[in-house]
Amino acid sequence: MKTKLKLSVACGIAALLVGFSVQAEEKTFSIGGDLELDLTAKDAAETSFYHGGRVKLNAVGHLKGDDYFIKGVAQPLVPLKGSDLGYDDVYLQMGRSNWDVQIGRFEGIDLFPVGKDTVAEHAGGMGTYGTNAARGRKDSVIHTAFHLKPNDAMNFELGVMGAKNTSDFDKFAAVRPAMTYKAGAFAVRAGFESVKSTPAGGTESSHTGFGVGAGFDVIGGTVNASLSKKNADDDGVDTTSVALNFTQGPWGVGYITSKDDMIGADPKLNTFFGAYTVPLFGSKDASVTFAASTSKATDVGGVEGTDDKVNAARVRFNYTF
């Protein structure tokens, strides 16, 4: 009888422990996605009208324990124009509530948020610099980031990217530390990147860059201001870019200015943009966005007096499923 009692107690304790183990670990899997369809009119040297967009699928697996988690994400893209399939994020993430490691293809902290830039066509073929060459989402490059969250207000990120003898790069190496801090309605962000890149069959280039910015909530919306500066080595082009934008609910406006430091005249870019989103048939999962931008570039290519202007309008349909 005593043996049976001891066995029963042992079995009960084992069952209880197994039950606790099962309850402490939770697995979830979800799949969804969204569709974007763009209709764009562009008035530059020639007037053009074109369409674009994609269907993005989003598959997420999540394992959550008492004080740890493991997460896997895959986001394939099906284009609405052309036949080349792509992908947004594909990564594995694991860690605890105050730290984690992320490996794969993804984007790091945004040091240069531009707000509601549904359309922002830049004149003169000029681009902007947002301390984002090592932010992530590069084909043929592995990306690893370590995140540290000492408290709810602060977040540190250390990103490292690398590749060698791939289809896109003979060599690529980058490091990007960044941080954000939010206190009430106010937030700040700062980061730095160092990049060395040799495209397949090309020559090596390298640069360092930094970005700082701040945002604050006001009258039901959010204002963001950002500054990024790129210092290119050797004969590269140094670039300084500034972004200022305001977003409130379904609408937003923004301004981006950028300057390239070149031999001769320094090209300058000024772009204004805005967008407004309304639901389709009152649905929270379907919407249409009306957007426009205007841009002017001066001294394009370092040639004084060579200016360019571009105006653009876009209608974007979005459906989340």
pLDDT digits (tens, 9 = 90+) for 152-196: 999 999 999 999 999 999 999 999 999 999 999 999 999 999 999
The token duo for 37 is 């369809």
CA distance 139 to 106: 11
The total number of structural domains in the chain stands at 1
Can you tell me the mean pLDDT for 277-285?
97
Please indicate, yes or no, if residue 138 is contained in any of the structural domains: no
- Read off the pLDDT band of 2 (50, 70, 90): very low
CA distance 321 to 316: 16
Q: What is the pLDDT of residue 10?
A: 46
Q: What is the pLDDT of residue 25?
A: 86
Please indicate, yes or no, if residue 210 is contained in any of the structural domains: no
Q: What is the pLDDT of residue 24?
A: 65
Please indicate, yes or no, if residue 58 is contained in any of the structural domains: yes
Please indicate, yes or no, if residue 307 is contained in any of the structural domains: no
Q: What is the pLDDT of residue 62?
A: 98
Residue 59 neighbours by CB under 8 Å, 6+ apart: 29, 30, 31, 73, 74, 75
Q: What is the pLDDT of residue 212?
A: 99
Average pLDDT across the chain, whole number:
92
Q: What is the pLDDT of residue 22?
A: 47
- Read off the pLDDT band of 262 (50, 70, 90): confident
pLDDT in tens, 195-216: 999 999 999 999 999 999 999 9
Q: What is the pLDDT of residue 316?
A: 99
DSSP helix, strand, coil percent of the chain (3-state; round to 5): 10, 60, 30
Q: What is the pLDDT of residue 3?
A: 42
Range of 78's domain? 24-38+52-92
Task: Report how many helices (DSSP H) and strands (DSSP E) the chain contains, helices first.
Answer: 1, 16
Please indicate, yes or no, if residue 72 is contained in any of the structural domains: yes
- Read off the pLDDT band of 97 (50, 70, 90): very high
pLDDT in tens, 61-89: 999 999 999 999 999 999 998 888 999 99
Please indicate, yes or no, if residue 13 is contained in any of the structural domains: no
Maximum Cα–Cα distance across the chain: 102
- Read off the pLDDT band of 236 (50, 70, 90): confident
Please indicate, yes or no, if residue 206 is contained in any of the structural domains: no
Please indicate, yes or no, if residue 233 is contained in any of the structural domains: no
Q: What is the pLDDT of residue 264?
A: 80
Q: What percent of the chain has pLDDT over 90?
A: 85
